[in-house]
Amino acid sequence: MADSLDHAPAQANNLPQFLALTIGAIGVVYGDIGTSPLYAFREALRPFGPGGVGRDEVIGLVSLVLWTLTAIVTIKYVLFLLRADNDGEGGTLSLLALLLKKGTKYPVLMFFAGVLGAALFIGDAMITPALSVLSAVEGLKLVAPALHDYVLPISVVIILLLFAVQSRGTGAVSVFFGPITLVWFLVMAAAGVAHIGDDLAILSAFNPLNAIGFLWNAGLTGFIVLGAIFLTVTGAEALYADLGHFGRLPIQVAWFAVVFPALALNYLGQGALVLSHPDALSNPFFLMFPTWALLPMVILATAATIIASQSVITGAFSLIRQAIHLGFLPRFEICYTSETQTGQIYLPLVNTILLAGVLALMLMFGSSEALAPAYGVSIT
């Protein structure tokens, strides 16, 4: 009895910290995957062209999205890979170090696979902020078309500010980003619930046979669409890389309690909207909202897509630190930004290199439409 009483205050004191980490994980870890509904379903519909898309195809697409989220994010990352931590750290190189430590028959193969995966993630850490911020600022053109010529300059300023705040640490950033992203997920879920009733046939998307049947019958178009479907899980790799920043349990609770339900409801709502109003396939996400709510949603989407960049930036910091510890890179300056979470770090040189890469991509491509194919290739 005495022991239980002694531990009760500690557990109570830890609850606020756990909730803070969970909300922070919603903003930092899931910010990227949380913005996928803006464009993923729309891009999946695009290969069908002017001929339109049939009811079975819409249901099959939504089913494919739901089961991709289930298989890749829920099963692979949240339930399995988060348990494969290396002294609390996650990420490709952490997994490589764990494999080498446990012993493997193919150490050379594992080494090159791990380094290749890390290199691809760093590429994603540059593409994601560029595309996210460009998409956000371009969304403002729906409200003020006159801002068209200012999209790139505004995007550059936002990127500079985003990387400037990295020195304050993941904890300080997530305190600001987490609540905003939580509101974003709740609004997406509400929009989905409001439109599922447009055509309840969309609920049959929960049957995985619809996803399999779609791929079986779609042929080459189905293969092209599958590339767009992968955009729904963009940012999942950051989930594992950010393990050291927030810990396993807050990341898992955030996924099951908030993120997965919100994403599923929103994609179901988009599908039901397209079933009942085929002309909505041009931009099903924003057409889910009434005219009076369009401006607030564009503003909220702008904030959410900027926040999405944070997950891959913090993941890149963790990845580079692991590479340094493994001897793959020379030693860089590492700043610890939290007194309680050893995984929350800031690397000034890496931050500068990422900033240069992001700005180069933005200036080279100039628009999210031009950058999206490169993003799809990176994610796939």
Domain coordinates in residue numbering, the chain: 43-379
**311 or 364, higher pLDDT:** 364
Q: Is the model's pLDDT at 329 over the cut of 60?
A: yes
What is the model's pLDDT at position 263? Answer: 97
Higher pLDDT: 86 or 286? It is 286
pLDDT tens-place string over residues 143-187? 777 777 888 998 899 899 888 888 776 666 666 778 899 999 999
What pLDDT sits at residue 63?
96
Query: What number is the average pLDDT over the span 6-16?
Result: 50
**Per-residue pLDDT reduced to its tens digit, 202-218:** 999 999 999 999 888 87
As a three-state string, the secondary structure of the chain is: CHHHHHHHHHHHHHHHHHHHHHHHHHHHCCHHHHCHHHCHHHHHHHHHHHHCCCHHHHHHHHHHHHHHHHHHHHHHHHHHHHHCCECCECCHHHHHHHHHHHCCCCHHHHHHHHHHHHHHHHHHHHHHHHHHHHHHHHHHHHCCHHHHHHHHHHHHHHHHHHHHHHHHCHHHHHHHHHHHHHHHHHHHHHHHHHHHCCCHHHHHHHCHHHHHHHHHHHCHHHHHHHHHHHHHHCCHHHHHHCHHHHCHHHHHHHHHHHHHHHHHHHHHHHHHHHHHCHHHHHCCCHHHCCHHHHHHHHHHHHHHHHHHHHHHHHHHHHHHHHHHHCCCCCCCCCEECCCCCCCCEECHHHHHHHHHHHHHHHHHHCCHHHHHHHHHHHHC
pLDDT in tens, 75-116: 998 998 888 777 767 777 877 888 887 777 888 888 888 888
